[in-house]
Amino acid sequence: MNNQFVFEKKQKTTLGIFMLVGVVCMILSYLMDDGTLHMRFWSNYLTNTVYFLGIAFIITFVLHAKVLMYSGWHVAFQRVWEAFSLFLIVGIILMIPIIAGIWGHFHHLYHWADKAAVASDVVLKGKSSFLNPVWYTAGTLIIVGVWYFFFAKRFRNLSVQEDKEFDPNYTLHKKIKVNAGVFLPIAAFTSAALIWLWIMSVDAHWYSTLYAWYATASWWVGSLALTILTLIYLKSKGYLDIVTTEHLHDLGKYMFAFTIFWTYLWFSQYMLIWYANIGEETTYFHVRMRKFPVLFYGNLVLNFVLPFIILMRNDTKRKYGTLILTSIIVFVGHWFDFFQMVRPGTWLSEIEHANHAAHATHASHAAEHAAPVLSKWGYPEGFVNGVSIPGLLEIGILLGFVGLFFWFVFMQLEKASLVPKNNPYLEETEHHHVM
């Protein structure tokens, strides 16, 4: 059984091409943007950074939760999840340009970062004790740093240390369990706060008490899809014989179940806001339904209708073909979900900035030309590439982040055995079968 992963030259070349495509598309999204704020570049950067950073976080959370649950079935692919979790350190580095942009005012992702806007806006002023550069910076760097250095990295180190010698008292595993008990409540609270800062505050006047649950569920379902794709690929290369159809079947059931859970959260958030009919809450869905129908309804098709129909049959969760197809749909679908969370808000900020500039220059000819034609709903008319739907540049940028993610993951997989040799639940996962 081959349990030592080798990061081959062909894999490096393929992932390198993915990253090159991503870099080229990022540059083009910056140069081809008609606006002065380069919002297409920054919104794509934020969407992909938060999506992959969130996948690393939720896998870290689930790994620790599994320890406290006395779970054993996942141990067969635990090393893959450990590698996913370590991407947190890359996520911290990727967030630094966004943080720098808030302080340096060279992007306009967040309306609350504009001091003049806050001074003249009652709502923004009321939220300024939390929505400010200091909280954003400290929250991102310190909290994600704690997630990585004190928990994800420590989990990995203790797990690898278990490989070296058998300990009948399972001292190392007990240390992991103590760490898990500390991490879960910290992670539950801090992750919600960061979701509010990173994504929900793009639409700074709006808020939802369900938003953190919703975004976290999207991360989790996307990470399940990525796990299935990774395991099937590794098995095709002759690795992880310990991972059987039963493990993949369970992951397929997880993906099916949490797809329904994500839909439940989507509906709960939408239904409550629709029923209450409060203006500052309904505007979020009003914008997306009226101006971005492809994003609004496409989100439901990709993340509920298609996976629900495909995975409803029991046997489709045991076949590589349907698992691969559904996992690709779900992984891209939840990236699409984060795109619709971020892009409409940043686009409206860009429009507002252009209109403000037009009025500031007394509606000069150039400013009038730049100002959009508004529909009866008050939103700019017409299709906007890279806003109304993700364009080719957005897809290219996603490929670039996929390349970066797997380059890092494969580097981590190469550093230890793919099977945790002395894990106390190894025998259980070897004999795992569906009841």
Q: What is the pTM of this model?
A: 0.94
Rounded Cα–Cα distance for residues 94 and 196 (Å): 18
The per-residue pLDDT for range 194-233, each reduced to its tens digit, is 999 999 999 999 999 999 999 999 999 999 999 999 999 9
Three-class secondary structure of residue 239 per DSSP = strand
- So what's the pLDDT on residue 32? 85
Reported as a single tens digit per residue, the pLDDT across 357-366 is: 555 555 444 4
Instruction: Report in angstroms the alpha-carbon separations of 278 from 83, 202, 229.
Output: 44, 19, 42
The phi and psi torsions of 380 (rounded to 5 degrees) equal -60, 140
Indicate whether 371 pLDDT > 50.
Answer: no
Predicted confidence band of residue 377 (pLDDT cuts 50, 70, 90): very low
CA distance 303 to 264: 12
Residue 199: what are its φ and ψ, rounded to 5°?
-115, -55
3-state secondary structure of 389: strand
Residue 2 dihedral angles phi and psi, to the nearest 5°: -90, 105
State the pLDDT confidence band at 179, using cuts at 50, 70 and 90. Answer: very high
pLDDT band at 367 (very low <50, low <70, confident <90, very high): very low
Better pLDDT: 206 or 33: 206
Burial zone of 388 (CB within 10 Å; 0-12 exposed, 13-18 middle, 19+ buried): middle
Overall average pLDDT of the 28-49 stretch: 89
Say what the pLDDT of residue 374 is: 46
User: What is the percent of the chain where pLDDT is above 90?
Assistant: 79
What's the rounded Cα separation, in Å, for the pair 113 and 92?
Answer: 20
Encoding tokens for residue 295?
């994003």
376 burial type by CB count under 10 A (0-12 exposed, 13-18 middle, 19+ buried): exposed
> In 237-387, where does DSSP find H-type helix?
245-276, 279-291, 293-300, 306-311, 320-360, 365-370
Mean pLDDT comparison of 43-52, 344-353, 424-433, highest-scoring range: 43-52
Domain positions in the chain are 9-423
The mean pLDDT value for 146-156 works out to: 97
CA distances from 174 to 119, 177, 186, 416 (A): 52, 5, 19, 21
Which residue type does 234 have? Answer: L
pLDDT band, residue 53 (cuts 50/70/90)? very high
77 band by pLDDT with thresholds 50, 70 and 90: very high
pLDDT the model gives residue 383: 74
